[in-house]
Chains A and B, each alone.
Chain A
Amino acid sequence: MVAERPTLETIWSWLDTVPDPEIPVISLTDLGIIRDVQWQDDTLEVTVTPTYSGCPATTIINLDIETALRGHGIEKLALKRQLSPAWTSDWMTDSGRAKLEGYGIAPPQPAGGPQHCPRCKSTHVEKISQFGSTPCKAQWRCTDCLEPFDYFKCI
């Protein structure tokens, strides 16, 4: 039993350390899918929005949030799904974008395509396919270093 209930700031800091199950280099808070954390009496309510409606990671994400918070002693927990406003890649944090690029995935850009190759930084890139290894990514290729790479789609 936790003597005093943890502050919301503390809870956010715990959630900062829960990795995305598909792209473990970024956290759930980097991704911007945790929309709200609130105490409703003695129950902690966490509001989560899905990235893509069919993304198989969604159930794992909910399970990971629950496991992490229970591990910190939260006993009464309610996870809420929020569809609107729909998730947008604009909600990804700057540190999340930097971590993605370091990992070899070009971060989302408003222009609709990657700024440069995440490996050699060349701006000569071309699209291979609008879809990639997960619903949130597209396949691109660098025409200088010739490496194919993932681009995190802008939605």
Chain B
Amino acid sequence: MSDHLFEYLCRMGDNTLVLGHRVSEWCGHAPVLEEDIALANTALDLIGQTTLWLDLAGEVEGAGRNADKLAFHRDVWDFRNLLLVEQPNGDFGQTMMRQFLFDAWHLLQLKALMGSSNAQVAAIAEKSSKEVTYHLERATDTVIGLGDGTEESHNRMQAALDKLWPYVGEMFVSDDVDAAMFDAGIAPDPASLRPAYDALLDDVFAAATLVRPQDDFGHKGGKSGKRHSEHLGHMLAQMQWLQRAYPDATW
């Protein structure tokens, strides 16, 4: 049970850690100053949430690891994030499409976790959901603005959606860890979030004049850690280089 809870908390924390790092890669590079600041703020929220999830994971594991140890001293095969969040930024439109596809799931997930039988999980979800409400609002506005924008921005948003769609399915697939969390009343059944997710996407894509891909094939292997995409290792090499070169360095 505590093994499953540890795994589950790593999934939550690794999602926000990997996406937070990806989004922070935009710092100083976004198309306009306001977007640069918004992306940096979103990354900051996600990294803050990571600290809460991974500190709790370390506490549950009871092996003396905290959020920093888990973030910087694990390699690719120990990461439990969704494949979606490790995908490269691409252009600004692709980054915002990835953010929208994740935020829409993230907020539903956090709202469900607010009713968790585990009080610490419920408290982190309550705190995070307020921040993620803002993320989803902004990602929604941007997807609609660019999708229903110029021919160039529309085509790029449709291409981003087509490219990222095969990574959506993994969010709703259940495995042993999910089943154990559901049985213990700690977390929702992933599939139960799908109808609300689809309804939101249908509304937003209609307003954005984007077409949802027909094929629901989904890549898997991120949250189980069995098969990450080739991109995660490169990202970790950059994120973890200091702790790899100088283990346990502090300032």
Contacts of A84 in B (CB 8 A): 119, 122-123, 126-127
Q: A79: CB under 8 A from chain B?
A: no
Residues A61-88 near B (CB distance < 8 A): 83-86, 88
Q: Report the stretch among B80-88, B131-139, B171-179, B223-231 that lies at the interface.
A: B131-139
In the complex, the answer to whether A53 meets B37 with C-beta atoms within 8 Å is no
Taking CB atoms and an 8 Å cut-off, the chain A residues in 32-53 that contact chain B are 50, 52-53
For B34, list chain A residues within 8 Å (CB): 128-129, 131, 139
At the interface, yes or no: A123 with Cβ under 8 Å from chain B? no
Chain B residue numbers with a CB within 8 Å of A85 are: 126
The residue of chain A having its C-beta at the shortest distance from the C-beta of B130 within the complex is A155
Do B38 and A54 touch across chains, with their CB atoms under 8 A apart? no
Q: Which of A53, A133, A155 contacts B49 (CB 8 A)?
A: A53
**In the complex, what distance in Å separates the CA atom of A55 from the CA atom of B46?**
11
A130-B44 contact given A52-B131, A53-B127, A86-B126, CB 8 Å threshold: no
Classify chain A: how many residues form its interface, as a range.
Answer: 20 to 34
Indicate if the CB atoms of A54 and B123 lie closer than 8 Å.
no
B138–A83 contact, CB under 8 A?
no
- The docked-state distance in angstroms from the alpha carbon of A66 to that of B33 is 36
Contact A131 B131 (CB under 8 A): no
Instruction: Please judge, given known A-B contacts A84-B122, A131-B138, whether A54 and B127 are in contact too, CB under 8 Å.
Output: no
Q: How far is the CB of B58 from chain A (nearest CB, A)?
A: 15
Residue of B with least CB distance to A130:
B138
A128→B37 CA distance, assembly (Å): 12
How does the 8 Å CB contact mask read for A111-155 relative to B, with 1 for contact and 0 for none? 000000000000000001111110100010000000000000101
A-B contact pairs, 14 of them (CB 8 A): A52-B48, A53-B127, A54-B48, A83-B126, A84-B122, A84-B127, A86-B123, A86-B130, A129-B38, A132-B37, A139-B37, A153-B134, A155-B130, A155-B131
Binding site for A on B (CB under 8 A): 34-35, 37-38, 41-42, 44-49, 51-52, 119, 122-124, 126-128, 130-131, 133-134, 137-138
| Chain A to chain B: the 7 pairs with minimum beta-carbon distance, closest first | A54-B48, A53-B48, A84-B123, A131-B38, A83-B123, A129-B34, A54-B44
